[in-house]
Chain A
Amino acid sequence: MAEAYIYDAVRTPRGKGKANGSLHEQTSLQLATQVLQALRDRNNLDTSKVDDVVMGVLSPIGEQGGNLPRIAALNAGYAETVSGVQVERFCASGLEACNIAAAKVKSGEAALAIGAGTESMSRVPMGSTGGSWATDPSIAMKTYFTPQGVSADAIATKYGFSRTDLDQFAVQSQQRAAQAWKEGRFKKSIIPVKDQMGATLLSHDEFMRPETTLQSLGALEPSFKMQGEVMPGFDDVIKQRYPELEKIDHVHHAGNSSGIVDGAAGVLIGSKEMGDALGLKPRARIVGGASIGSEPSIMLTGPEHVTHKLMKRLGLSKQDIDLWELNEAFASVVLRWVQALDLDMDKVNVNGGAIAMGHPIGATGAMILGTMVDELERADKERALITLCIGAGMGTATVIERVN
């Protein structure tokens, strides 16, 4: 089987996912288009060599619907021969897109592919595509459907993380992200988003609050107490699956959960031969990827299971991984993963994560994959594992290895 190499990775800055966010004034099609154009321009790419654009989108409806990747490729001026496919694996859509692109290269179906992700949460809100899990009684009840926020609180309760533990982690995320920006650690892959005139619309992650302290977080009200305890009372639903929980501590709030933002990212993945032919220098190798399902009501413990699954298949042990990256959907998710795998926090999310910078759902996986390519090079490390927790109890992970 062929190897799949990463030749380049780019991402937009993340704009606040609200009507007053900078990227709200630009279409999702433009976000995706500018990512594809950047990959082309930075690599002087003959786009006719690109076999496929695989793009993660959480909410493929409205302007994000109707096969956004193909339309964006056309809009970006890519060759007509470039096909596009949109994938959705909830929060890991972007990483799954990269895994699929890599698998296509490894199998020989594609010689060059782009794994990508786009999400304008300010323009196409979460939940726009519906879905049966929460609404159809025949599945909602038997799987104890619980919204993620309450699930994240249940994780904190079950595994013993206090509000202070979570807030400390959140402050750390802010500090690390601020440090990373200050030192220009994201510089290599950030592409400013242009407005309708072609002027710069946004060139930095605008969601961050580097001034955050434990004290300032302490003032925030819990976000999921109401839906957990009162209307409609999801605590009693998840307790049916976890009777060991006497009471659920509602410890997550806006400051220790991921932010709602807009953004897009793309990763150029190809075979050795194609890279050589195009004169591209490989930056990393995709060692392997995996996905898994786990208990859906607590929902967000999939990363632990998929990490085990992938490392076992690749024959890797903990010592083989230098950098660990788990999307910071909620602070308890990361703390539980670190606890379950007994990881060294100094190697986890070293440049901060979604608590500080936000989580543009369909794009995040592709973004943090790129971040890890940069960080392996900057810190002179060898291997990184990237993973995300996913709705309905799934987990997706990827291991990459630096090649120069």
Chain B
Amino acid sequence: MENFKIDVDSDGIALITFDVPGRSMNTITGSVMRDLITLVDTIKTDAKINGAVITSGKATGFCAGADLGELNQRGSAKQEEPKSEDERLKKQFEQSFTLNRSLRAIETCGKPVAVALEGLALGGGLEIALACHYRVAADNPKTKFGLPESKVGLLPGAGGTQRLPRLIGVQNAAMMILQGADKSPQEAKGLGFINEVVPAGGTVDAAKAWVKSTLPWDYAKGPNPKAIAPWDVKGYKVKDGPFTPAGAMAAVGGNAMVSKQTNLNYPAQRNILSCIYEGMQVPIDAALRIESRYFIKTAATPQAKGMIRTLFVNMQALGKGGNRPEGFPTYEIKKVAVLGAGLMGAGIAYVQAKAGIETVLLDVSQESAEKGKAYSKRIVDKDISRGKITKEKGDALLALITPSTDYSLIKGSDLVVEAVFESPALKAEVTKKAEAYLGETAVFGSNTSTLPITGLAEASARPKNFIGIHFFSPVERMGLVELIMGKDTTAETQAKAIDYVIKIRKTPITVNDFRGFYTSRCFGTYPAEGVEMLMEGIAPAIIENVGRQCGMPMGPLEVSDSVGLDTALKIGKTNAELNQQDYKKDPRAAMLSWLVEDKGRVGRKGGKGYYEYGEDGKPSRIWPGLAERIEVKTKECPPELKTELTKRFLFRQCIEVARCFEEGVITDPRDADVGSILAWGFAPYSGGCISYIDLFWGTKGFVEEADRLADTYGERFRPNKLLRDMAAKGETFYERFGAKEKKAA
């Protein structure tokens, strides 16, 4: 066994140290699963062993669960071709059930096995612990215990959906598993899945003490009666199964809650409830088999594949600089100046200070600059009052922000983030002013969502060091930063900017300098398609409900309201001017003009838009006055129509992303997928726009369907040359643009 070490003490208690070689954190690899079989056999058969304590050899904690990277690869490994679908499924079951079998063997080995948890136990790690007879945790509020599988579209597949509900009750367990929520040791003890919490460093002794309390036992008489799980005690019955008075309402309510929260887009969530519903009605061994079957079924869904790849593998890779140009040393960022203390600048100052960066926050007046800093104070005060941070830490954070009007304070900054109004002239002015104090090698970043970076860089004396840094609002909550390469921006500047984004704990993606960049351009297609539907006479309620139900965070009309109808009208007018046309000839612009100019409905900020708004600023209902202008022709939405509208919403966005690849706006599918989910909330269950094409349709199927949509609804759905080319070759985006090929090239 390379992953487990056994030391038997004088009481015959085996201390088993879990320590996967070559890794900082224990994960459950294929090798661990093989070792577990040997380990269990040793505990059971070695007459010198009277009981066991499992602990970790890592300072990082007990175990972080399955190796998702390996799990993701498992499907692609070459294996002997199964003769039938039935055989293929049964083989998969055997493979997947290996861990369950070992854990069940620990549970029923007849000797007491305790686990000593000095640190985190997540996913499979916690499932190992749940299969032990006694669990001791170190008292550290930062330690996390949880089953987070559902966050990447999977379900706990090593008994988690069966042992946890039997230990802590169906309702508590269902909530914890569905949300993938972490619990601290004290919370875990309160819920009932940790038996004992002891001071740090004391878990092994406490676990041994428990094992010792069950001894001596003469194993010639049979299994140790203390070494038995509650569900293996004769006569055991689940108290709150679906057909008990205690469990019936929870089952019905649970289905409704999950249905409501997921709109049926997340099969893992439904399957978790199925595991619990079906599993609570049968003995544990049958229940574990049921869970494994659902695990295999769930892992095979495009949702699981897309979510694991984008939300786990890719997000982690990008967060560690996976997309950073190679060959440049890490850029140490100690001091950053922020120009403009408006909403954006204030938010940027906060995230910088939170990451320990000395921040100069500049504005035209001291008052405005102070106001910008006050934004951070509000957040800090709230965090202190909620006990999230200490007063000292909060004060230290705020001390890092210096509000001022004095540009000379920029001296010594490693980077400047310009976040003034979206006016090229103003931006040019502050760029020149700032560069006067900025070192030769420092980076100048301009925060803009629309203005071309190459144009802004003209004001710079050092366009090679100039880059677009597009933040999203509210900065402290949005996880993405879109970096925009100007014509002259160097790879070194890109690397430095990526280091900055990582330092402020956000995920960077890099795109090229085209109108709307990547995120603004693609995001706009969603509300635009909503307006198309409105103009066709589809009832607004249908448009909004289907928009939300297909996985977007808001209905498209609500999105339009949030952006501002006047803003949309302005863009329409500018475009018409560029093409020397009367903007009112476009029926969409004409409708916007009617809403904004005739009816004074500018959107959410004015309290009137497609929606009416309550005093709390939340939409109260769709404005009935829309009917004055647009006759509703489609009043009902049978499932076929819902499917069609869903496709229109999702395809429209994906086709725009495909166009971005063809035009060179974006080059890496990881950036595109992560960006689509983090920037504008594209249906997260899909794994992002590119994964939606690759995994849900395949390029061939996607092109066929897009052609049909184009024939029916217009050329905006027509697949571009790139998509057709890929469809003809049967290529996916990850194959064509993926990291592997890039290296080869």
Binding site for B on A (CB under 8 A): 127, 130, 134-138, 140-142, 144-145, 231-234, 236-237, 239-247
Contacts and interface: CB of A to CB of B under 8 A. Distances in A.
A339 to B, nearest CB: 15
Contact of B636 (A127, A137, A232, A244): A244
A258 to B, nearest CB: 21
B256 A234 contact: yes
Contacts of B642: 243
B642 to A, nearest CB: 6
Nearest to A134: B252
Nearest to B547: A243
A141 B277 contact: no
Interface string B500-542: 0000000000000000000000000000000000000001111
Contacts of B539: 244
A242 B635 CA distance: 10
Given A142-B264, A240-B264, A247 B259 contact: no
Given A233-B257, A239-B549, 20 more contacts: A127-B248, A134-B255, A135-B251, A135-B252, A137-B255, A138-B270, A140-B252, A141-B270, A232-B252, A232-B257, A236-B259, A236-B260, A240-B259, A240-B263, A240-B264, A240-B545, A242-B637, A243-B541, A244-B545, A245-B541
Contact of A244 (B257, B263, B274, B541): B541
A132 to B, nearest CB: 9
Contacts of A142: 264
Contacts of A232: 252-254, 256-257, 260
Nearest to A239: B545
12 contacts: A130-B243, A134-B251, A135-B248, A136-B277, A137-B255, A138-B270, A140-B256, A140-B259, A234-B260, A236-B260, A244-B542, A246-B545
A140 B255 contact: yes
Contact of B277 (A137, A236, A241, A243): A137
A40 to B, nearest CB: 39
B622 interface: yes
Contacts of A137: 254-255, 258, 270-271, 273-274, 277
A181 B248 CA distance: 40
A246 B621 contact: yes
B242 interface: yes
B608 to A, nearest CB: 17
A135 B277 contact: yes
Contact of B635 (A138, A234, A236, A244): A244
Sorting the interface of chain B by its residue count into under 10, 10 to 19, 20 to 34 or 35 or more gives: 35 or more
Contacts of B540: 246
A237 B260 CA distance: 5
Interface in B229-281: 242-243, 248, 251-260, 263-264, 270-271, 273-274, 277-278
- Give chain B's interface secondary structure class: helix
Contacts of B273: 137
Contact of A135 (B242, B257, B258, B635): B242
Given A135-B277, A138-B270, A239-B545, A244 B256 contact: no
Contacts of B242: 130, 135-136
Contact of A243 (B252, B260, B549, B622): B549
B657 to A, nearest CB: 26
B117 interface: no
Nearest to A131: B243
Contacts of A246: 540-541, 544-545, 621-622
B639 interface: yes
Contacts of A244: 539, 541-542, 545, 635-637
B256 A233 contact: yes
Given A135-B243, A241-B639, A243-B642, A233 B260 contact: yes
A311 B264 CA distance: 38
Nearest to B642: A243
A246 B555 CA distance: 12
A314 B545 CA distance: 42
Contacts of A239: 545, 549
A240 B252 contact: no
Contacts of B253: 231-232
A127 B635 CA distance: 35
A130 B254 CA distance: 16
A302 B431 CA distance: 70
Interface string B353-376: 000000000000000000000000
A245 B621 CA distance: 12
A232 B549 CA distance: 17
A145 B264 CA distance: 13
